[in-house]
Amino acid sequence: MKIGIGNDHAGVDLKYSIIKTMPEHIFINVGTDSYESCDYPDYIKLVAEMVQKGEVDCGIAICGTGIGASIVANKHKGVRAALCTNEFMASMARKHNDANMLVLGARVVGIDLAISIINAFLHATFEGGRHKQRLDKIKQIEQ
């Protein structure tokens, strides 16, 4: 799977741990590689744009808590970013909301939990049905 990944300074270590632990995926890294303080919107925007344009299968955004990254990602039309702190949230984000971007808080989840969350996200699929009707309403709001 081709995954866009972006982060601020707080997410550098988590990003590299994810990439190293999941060699079966192709990661397009658009995040900072520096620990020097930076502005997360600059990097999260790049991941969201890749998702929006269909250049990647999905995206992962990382900042300290994940809150700011989630806000930025969801400003992009067609991006459905879900801030997840456990596997159930990640699975349901895909199954019920057809999320195409996962957001993680580097200061909230450790690497083992992050990998479990990512796997739950990547292995779940949108269920459609009543959830499609709800997703269509979200798309109408975006207009």
* Site of tokens 């879900």: 82
34 burial (CB, 10 Å; 0-12 / 13-18 / 19+) is exposed
User: pLDDT (tens digit, 9 = 90+) per residue, 39-55?
Assistant: 999 999 999 999 999 99
Which residue is catalytic, options 25, 38, 96, 131? Answer: 96
Task: State CA 70 to chain mean position distance.
Answer: 8
Active site residue 96: yes
Measure the CA–CA gap between 139 and 5, rounded to whole angstroms. 24
Angle 5-77-89 (CA atoms, 0-180°, nearest 5)? 55
Which residue is catalytic, options 9, 38, 58, 63? Answer: 63
Domains (range + CATH), the chain:
2-142 (3.40.1400.10)
* Site of tokens 């192709």: 26
Active site residue 63: yes
> Which residue, 42, 51, 40, 36, is CA-closest to 105?
40
User: pLDDT (tens digit, 9 = 90+) per residue, 51-101?
Assistant: 999 999 999 999 999 999 999 999 999 999 999 999 999 999 999 999 999
